[in-house]
Structure 1
Amino acid sequence: MPLYVIADVRQFRGLELILGHGREITRISSMIREAAIEQLPVAHPEYPGVGIAVLQLSGPTEDPNADWKKW
């Protein structure tokens, strides 16, 4: 059961949750995850050693049937 961080893509000027930005999404996601690990010490009460393993970028969607988009 990994712990995770969710970041709003709108914090990063020019970045969109589209395939064409995949390389930049990956780069930024990795940087955010590493910063979170350094700055937010967490410990799962039942699984020692489990920490922040996942970073999710999310943001507004253009789909009228959805209210949020995630990568």
Structure 2
Amino acid sequence: MVKSVRPRERTLSLEEKYARLEAKTRLLEAENELLKKRDLLERQLMKKKHKRNTPKIRIDPTNDSNLSVKATSVPPI
């Protein structure tokens, strides 16, 4: 990442450097949590999508000849 920032006119004190590092750490932690939530939502969406496209199997109890099985597919959305 390239930054186009003017050079500082003064040097930062240790306390200022520490405060900046803490702020950067909090920002990165928040970004990490956001990415985790996004990944979780994507996995849930994929699971729902996979579940919808899975064929349903129904047993016809009216037919006594070895309980024939009818497979019906769910139309895509």
Q: Using structure 2 for the length normalisation, give the TM-score.
A: 0.28
> Which one has a bigger Cα radius of gyration?
2
Q: TM-score, normalised by structure 1?
A: 0.31
Structure holding more helix per residue: 2
Q: Compare the two structures and name the one with the higher strand fraction.
A: 1
Give the number of the structure with larger relative contact order, counting CA–CA contacts within 8 Å between residues 6 or more apart: 1
